[in-house]
Chain A
Amino acid sequence: MKEVVIIGGGAAGLAAAIACYDAGLKDILVIERSQFLGGILNQCIHNGFGLHTFKEELTGPEYASRFIKEVERREIKALTSSMVIDLEPHRVTYVNSTEGVNTIETKAIILAMGCRERPRGALNIPGFRPAGIFSAGTAQRLMNIEGYLVGKRVVILGSGDIGLIMARRMTLEGAKVLAVAELMPYSGGLKRNIVQCLDDFNIPLLLSHTVVNIEGKERVEAVTIAKVDSSRKPIKGTEKRFECDTLLLSVGLLPENELSKKAGLTLSPVTGGPIVDNSFSAGDGIFACGNVLHVHDLVDYVSEEAALAGSQAAKYVKEGFKEKEYIKVSTGFGVRYTVPQYIQKGCEDVMLRFRVTDIFKGSSIVISSKGNVLKKIKRQVMSPGEMESVKLNFKADEDILVEVVNE
């Protein structure tokens, strides 16, 4: 019987493992499906990681290696090239080449499987299905790990961060990025990425635009982009045709929770991740952190959240399950979701993370309970592309409501 099994050896899993160890657990197992620890960080060779955690600008592999070293220093056991194929509370089944299929019992489980990219099919983009259509992350892997430039004339659909990063990366490698089209009237990525990856290279960002046709039987030959109306339907007559050989898609990330479903967890229809309390518990000794829980903008927040989840899982292992009372966190105007969705009654200093539904300028985040305002924070700008964090520096005794209030 293990004390804790952590599924996923990326940013979240590594930080959770370290925190479990530091909280006193010794029998820890990290299971990672790829050959190496570090997860998607390994292919993110741009800088900007670790500004909050280390007060330094690191690349993805550098950021990951700091955590991997800490894991190794603590001699935490990690199984790589091993894939978890079934999950129940306290039982993890995985497969690899050396052991075959194996089931292990564990006191606690931490889910840290990350997310995947939304594929073309999920968007129902009409047209042909030639080579040259990549999700931005796939192109990033081919570029940064394998060393191949996937195309020379590129159109990008979606302004998610990976797409923005790849616009710059491919430009630096000699490709011509013709345009980034974004369905929404605002970008889905970080402001700093718009500036550093598009503006600095004169790559146009076409807001409220989408791809309406893909040409080319064998390889992409052209992509047609059109403006969309307020219901996001293409407007006839606004089509622009771009001759190109590659279409990158950066149209959203989806928490990868097929295993969570097998374990019987309830998923939030908004985040796509498990519903958790402020100890990151989803119930039955299962904890969740990182992008499997909700998609983050900065890895620093993933590490912070995962460390908390790890220490709470350790506490659960040592102290056992304790019946608790909860208060509910509801979302009001302008707030898409919050994590956690529940708070243990009486807890203080809970960090609430969430995303807003639209661009808000000069608005406030208001947290209230039964109409009494408990906290009000004014923000110059809030955008759906950036995660909001608010520390609840009060004791949570009754259900609270989080909303955006325009002045």
Chain B
Amino acid sequence: MIYDSIVIGGGVVGASIARYLSLYDISVALLEKNSDLCTGTSKANSGIAHAGYDPIPGTLKAKLNVRGNQLLRELAPQLGIDLKNNMAMVLSFNRDDELKMLYERGLKNGVSGMRIISHDEVLALEPNINSEVTAALLLTTSCIVCPFSLTYAMGENAEANGAKLLMEQEVIDIKKCDNYFIIKTKCDEFKALTVINAAGVFADKINDMVAPHTFDIKVKSGEYVLLDRSEGGLVNSTIFQLPTKEGKGVLVTPTYHNNILVGPDSVLRDDRNDNATYADGLEKVMESAKKSVSNINYRSIITSFAGLRASTASGDFIINEPVDGFFNAAGIDSPGLTSAPAIGEYISDIVSKHLGRKKKANPILNREAIARPSVLNRDERNALIQKDPRYGNIICRCEEISEGEIVEAIKRGGTTLDGVKRRVRAGMGRCQGGFCSVKVLELIARECGCRMEDVRKNEKGSEVIL
């Protein structure tokens, strides 16, 4: 068969594009090289739906950031995305003129709900902020969002609308023949009328398979430390420092699930797979965050990680059609997570016009998130347990995750330890899977009908038991 559209890359951008395309009368397949969605840039970032004060006015970034923020807030209840409107503030320490410039830039970008607040107001809202703060830009549309839940929501909704999500399909060649493309992967071959490149840090390689070389992706690593939920409440809004040429700087933010996240830095890496953390990098991140909040309890760190962003020389997103029917969504670094739905909307609009297709008459616009008994009230929780007793059997004690949730995560494609963790947080807590990982291994083996030795942490070669 010839697909109408093939999306390359199963990160949040690829999944969002697939989701928006699937709302049209368009047959869609998504090809992901890894064994699950959300395994690259999308899995390791700040998890912020940025307001849009930072991008340069007139750029795609500015436009799609502001639109993405709006879309995310609309979509969250429909698609079961873990999103909370917690607001953000950019702190100034005697650089109030720059704050004013940011505010004006935000206005130009169409950001609503901004205002500059005084030292006293900052501390009234966030008492743990460094008291030397002179003023702050308050951003009331800023949200925290769980990047996993966003990516899986997009992917599952795309599937519900008929899209095929194909894992372990690393694209190795693309050829244009007449009016369609042949896309070769390591084990298969696909045909499609249109191809959308959302390959993240490898997007230039994909582009070069079929289009003239016009851009290079440079990989920048951002390192983070994550603190125990016991530190929740240290700050309630997302705390930025004034941006520098390196980016938006180190932030201190609660996560949707009440941890405190500190990071990132921004370091160029030669190896596109180098998502290791480095001692000096982590140290700098921790030191730099103290400027915003001096009393961060780093003894409560439960994990550290690094994420890779695809940056380009232009600094803007590259969304174009270098070859008739081949579209790039490349160079999607920050605010990529926020912009993802807007990129999906934007590209699907262009692609549907290219294909001459209309919206589906009755697309599925809602998606049910995996039930989370620990946040239900007692009656709802007991009703759920009565219906399915597995929701009463706690497997991950730190995050209070039940067997029912884990089984559902496995059913929805989380067939690795990390896949389960990203979907329902088993192993995401303070013991980092020390207690529950063995039980999760057993559940995966049971549900998938495989041996314990076959269960992986993530990709091939990551079997937990040797």
Contact = CB atoms under 8 A, between A and B. Distances in A.
Contacts of B94: none
Interface stretch (A144-152, A319-327, A338-346): A144-152
Given A151-B466, A246-B466, A100 B431 contact: no
A10 B302 CA distance: 26
A121 B304 contact: yes
A285 interface: no
B214 to A, nearest CB: 30
Interface residues of B, number: 52
Contacts of A375: none
Nearest to A213: B276
A117 to B, nearest CB: 5
B453 interface: yes
A83 B397 contact: yes
Interface string A95-125: 1111111000000000000001101111010
A82 to B, nearest CB: 9
Interface size class on chain A is 35 or more
A116 B431 contact: yes
A21 B442 CA distance: 37
A237 B457 CA distance: 33
Interface stretch (A12-20, A130-138, A390-398): A130-138
B307 to A, nearest CB: 12
A116 B374 CA distance: 21
B438 A138 contact: yes
Nearest to A83: B394
Interface centre among B382, B431, B437, B460 (most CB of A within 10 A): B431
Contacts of A101: 378, 381-382, 385
Contact of A130 (B381, B442, B457): B457
B460 A218 contact: yes
Given A124-B301, A151-B466, A100 B437 contact: no
A119 B302 contact: yes
Nearest to A153: B466
B463 A131 contact: yes
Task: Label chain B's interface by main secondary structure.
Answer: mixed
Interface string A255-296: 000100100000000000000000000000000000000000
Contacts of A117: 431, 434
Contacts of A261: 230
A127 B225 contact: no
Given A97-B389, A116-B434, A218 B458 contact: yes
B282 A218 contact: no
Interface in A328-345: none
A119 B275 contact: no
Contacts of B279: 124, 126, 212, 234
Contact of A141 (B226, B385, B438): B438
B295 interface: no
A135 to B, nearest CB: 5
Contacts of A132: 464, 466
B393 A100 contact: no
Interface in B414-466: 430-435, 437-438, 442, 452-453, 456-466
A138 B226 CA distance: 22
Contacts of B456: 131
A159 B466 CA distance: 24
Given A99-B392, A131-B458, A261-B230, 9 more contacts: A95-B392, A95-B394, A116-B434, A121-B226, A121-B303, A131-B464, A142-B438, A217-B459, A218-B458
3 closest A-B pairs by beta carbon, nearest first, are A121-B303, A218-B461, A119-B432
Interface of B: 225-226, 230, 273, 275-279, 281-282, 301-305, 373-374, 378, 381-382, 385-386, 389-390, 392-394, 397, 400, 430-435, 437-438, 442, 452-453, 456-466
6 contacts: A95-B381, A100-B386, A121-B303, A124-B225, A124-B304, A150-B465
